[in-house]
Structure 1
């Protein structure tokens, strides 16, 4: 937020506090937890002015005890997160394949709470690390809470939950020095990967730009597992869940991600919070891939394998509803930190499959919440509390907040038989009936054994620039691995995915290029593609709404150009920030003072989606043309593939940066747009065609294949 926006937000907060105090009947003197009024809280009770603190000071002991216990154990994984409230509404009744009540009536909005997170790092790590992102949604339905606990990857690293502790131990920091924080570029992770080829598909996603999202608002979500819908007639349908953001799927590039960690480690969390505070509510569409039960074995992979996707070209994603997040939490700890998700929190009409990873999660999540939140009554914490009535015979335990009376067993007659079992009206949860039989064995199905075809599918589906980024990511990650044998083994595994990928990675990490015999890729997998997997297939709605545009100015700026671009781009929904060498104001060509949102030394291009440089009212170049910070800002924007615009004499700022291979306007007769560089040499207010071309360039986010930056 800008300084002015922060001041407005602070004013609103103060007004909210005043209103809350005025309306709160309990407002009054400070008390202890027991309601005893306290008249002094600055000094401990002591035996004399310089004497020892007395243990009989119950206020001191209570206050310090609360402080000492303010922190609960952080999550083992997904420790760093951000959350928001909102609602979900279906497009139409889904009764054909599920009886879940919240998927029936388009006029009914179901409240939700969503938590986004990184996986590997602790709470103090940065937002923009290369990592999987959690995307967990709690639906407060009329039939009870339903948790769709997903990630921004559609696949996981392992097939069976018994390997989960091994994977997490491998990806967490090295045990001897607790390094690195929030990163996967170290020996133990890649040792595990090189010995466990089932990880390769998720690893390909991890090495892609999907692992460094531009924003939580521009990130897909997936249920990962194959679940089961069940309709009122008891018929089952396999289902995979997809969240698709309205703004499209967009990512940072690795260089940006690393600089963001220093410039703003809360980059993604701040973006989500600020957007909701500003009323720019993020929105996702919920889609499903539906597979009739009779087609369970119709694929060349196993539907129960969490390391596999169903290509959208084989089973299209069917949109069934939308979700909007429109309210930030009031208290991060009470809500975002204490929210408890559980894959086994399902409602009638949604059931499980025999996916061995899903079965393990159904055990592990509850076990984790019990230790982290202090006992079995964590469901009574407001953020976890269902809107449906809760009537159980569960009693007591840590942090019990309900005052139970009457009987606590079933059946009973003394309590009038209450709470009674649901009748045979079809509203109660009924587990899907399927035959289960087999010998007790520790053996994975042969249908889970193909570990290379889908990683190859992912690689083959990437655009050229995406493949280039994947190679660079592998080179960075493996370049951090000290054990040469681990690097060699990993490259050998990549040879089974794609020979050229393995060769390029090998050259970058200093190991021998694998010979053809070292990694035979099947002819079939070499041809597999799914265009829907590329980021180029997920551009969004084509708008510039909420995108951040920096306008670089200095004293003497053409006031007409500054005003026209600010008003024109803001009218399209972009967030425009005026940036100058110093904070405060700049003097425009009209002699008036124009407000500056941020000082150039406090920001960087990586925090913005585009940059625009207006000119001056005279023939000379703007002061920014000789400012090294401004030149670096424009240079980095250009080399990261983001849009760059210039007006009038502002073109002089582009000259030292933009290569000769890019078409730049030379006269005032026309607007020129070439691979995201939009220029117009005309003096005065920005022409409509310039604003139109620049807006189009910003809506595209990135422009790859441009000539290298000068210098």
Structure 2
């Protein structure tokens, strides 16, 4: 029989009785000297750190990325220097709007966050299971998320809030079309694609830059759920997706994704017919065909959910030399907002936690802060420049300067942007059955919404494609003339 270790307090003092509090006799009050009771209560009161404002409900797993395609002409990042290179990585998948205890099978985009532990530092890619997003200007992001959360008056999720926002934000139409299509609810986390959504960049040793979009195509095949299937599963198991991923890896069915990349020469962005840094747009594959880069495989479940999944902190600013950002305005804001959120939620030393710590040597001048749990730099010098052998800049891997256009100011992000063409193209690409499912899903979601918002949103559908708008209107029992009349 296995011998169990003795229980101790956090300070290592043996616990002699974990069943009974100290008191002044069987019927007397408790004693303040019972430090064991005080420690347990105080720790319990603080067990929950704030959940993520978005992407609160998630699942994660460890794996590897193996390079199968040569990117050495595009980037000096050592990971992509040759075919066969590999690195360890961690993935976290999540719903966007729901809280920690919400159903996994809600109709909602899925976060697709990846942390690659490269020899030159962490590379974090924070994306979704859709290639586009609802807004393109970060000033609208918090308002968008508020519209997807709970009504401040009732504390309830409210279709009116989200459709009110969407109907007033035509740039959301492409993502709305995707979300309410048959792709809106993945059957499992293993059976969905992932996308960087944002435009990033690669640059090589010669200082040449290319704009890129990353794709992760599931090798398990795309599988999705209908509204009815999703509701039935949620009634049985709110943690369906989390449970499925854990069980598949536990039984040795390791999920894989084909990693692909679209590559655009830097100067193409000046004349490309589609705004290349617009998060509500895709680059058509006929213009920039995806090329294979590698295979991502998840092979190990977390040993402790809190330590590895909840404390995982992804930030798009984590990019090894040879990789960079772009003028994508949403990405620019996320470079700030993600680490800021981690400092609030986890603490200033979040990057030193085991799940976030790079697998390569680290040399910083960061010191102190709450919950510093390592050697805090020892006695090494903590300022720079210095004369005592402290780490110095790696100027040899400096990113080439960005070619900037225009003057600083506030620009109308709708000006010159077509918010309807790609949404209409997506609708026209669908089969008759897929179109019917999309129209039915939208009508079901819009039915409880006030009529003036219905008309406003129907006009958005109609502008993308007449059959799109008329199909939803018919299912809502609204005459198309009323919709078109609103546009007059």
Match of 2:374 among 376, 394, 402: 402
Match of 1:195 among 168, 172, 186: 168
Match of 2:360 among 382, 388, 407: 388
Residue by residue over 1:291-322, the C-alpha shift from the partner in whole angstroms, topping out at 9 and shown as x without a partner, is 11121134322001100001112211101100
The question of whether the paired residues in 2 share the 8 Å contact of 1:499 and 1:519 is answered with no
Coordinate RMSD, CA, aligned: 1.8
Q: Counterparts in 2 of 1:28-427, with a 5 A limit? A: 28-180=5-157, 186-373=159-346, 375-403=347-375, 404-406=377-379, 407-413=381-387, 416-422=388-394, 426=396
The question of whether the paired residues in 2 share the 8 Å contact of 1:410 and 1:417 is answered with no
The question of whether the paired residues in 1 share the 8 Å contact of 2:459 and 2:484 is answered with no
Corresponding residue number in structure 2 for 1:474: 442
Larger RCO (alpha carbons 8 Å, 6+ apart): 2
The question of whether the paired residues in 2 share the 8 Å contact of 1:115 and 1:136 is answered with yes
Report SS of the residue matched to 2:283. coil
Q: CA deviation at 1:265?
A: 1.9
Q: Counterparts in 2 of 1:468-617, with a 5 A limit? A: 468-481=436-449, 483-514=450-481
Q: In 1, Cα distance between the equivalents of 2:481 and 2:330?
A: 33
Report SS of the residue matched to 2:83. coil
Q: In 1, Cα distance between the equivalents of 2:484 and 2:28?
A: 81
Q: CA deviation at 1:447?
A: 6.3
Q: In 2, Cα distance between the equivalents of 1:64 and 1:92?
A: 54
Q: CA deviation at 1:214?
A: 0.9
Structure 1: 5+ residue stretches without partners: 1-14, 22-26, 521-711
Corresponding residue number in structure 2 for 1:598: none
Q: In 1, Cα distance between the equivalents of 2:289 and 2:373?
A: 47
Q: In 2, Cα distance between the equivalents of 1:445 and 1:418?
A: 45
Q: CA deviation at 1:419?
A: 2.2
Structure 2: 5+ residue stretches without partners: none
The question of whether the paired residues in 2 share the 8 Å contact of 1:45 and 1:53 is answered with yes
Q: In 2, Cα distance between the equivalents of 1:434 and 1:107?
A: 31
Residue by residue over 1:407-447, the C-alpha shift from the partner in whole angstroms, topping out at 9 and shown as x without a partner, is 2111222xx2212333x5x3x4x233124464331113566
The question of whether the paired residues in 2 share the 8 Å contact of 1:142 and 1:388 is answered with yes
Q: In 2, Cα distance between the equivalents of 1:258 and 1:168?
A: 23
The question of whether the paired residues in 2 share the 8 Å contact of 1:492 and 1:514 is answered with no
Q: In 2, Cα distance between the equivalents of 1:519 and 1:88?
A: 52
Q: CA deviation at 1:448?
A: 5.0
Q: In 1, Cα distance between the equivalents of 2:190 and 2:180?
A: 21
Report the count of equivalent residues: 485
Q: CA deviation at 1:45?
A: 1.2
Q: CA deviation at 1:114?
A: 0.2
Corresponding residue number in structure 2 for 1:464: 432
Q: In 1, Cα distance between the equivalents of 2:409 and 2:141?
A: 19
The question of whether the paired residues in 2 share the 8 Å contact of 1:229 and 1:237 is answered with yes
Q: In 2, Cα distance between the equivalents of 1:193 and 1:437?
A: 30
Q: In 2, Cα distance between the equivalents of 1:310 and 1:437?
A: 21
Q: In 2, Cα distance between the equivalents of 1:154 and 1:210?
A: 12
Residue by residue over 1:178-225, the C-alpha shift from the partner in whole angstroms, topping out at 9 and shown as x without a partner, is 222xxxx60011001111101101110111121100111110100001
Q: In 1, Cα distance between the equivalents of 2:219 and 2:415?
A: 36
Q: In 1, Cα distance between the equivalents of 2:9 and 2:335?
A: 41
Q: CA deviation at 1:349?
A: 0.9
Q: In 1, Cα distance between the equivalents of 2:172 and 2:276?
A: 17
User: Alpha carbons of 1:461 and 1:45: their partners in 2 closer, same or farther (altered >3 Å)?
Assistant: same
Superposition TM-score, scaled by structure 2 size: 0.96
Q: In 1, Cα distance between the equivalents of 2:305 and 2:474?
A: 46
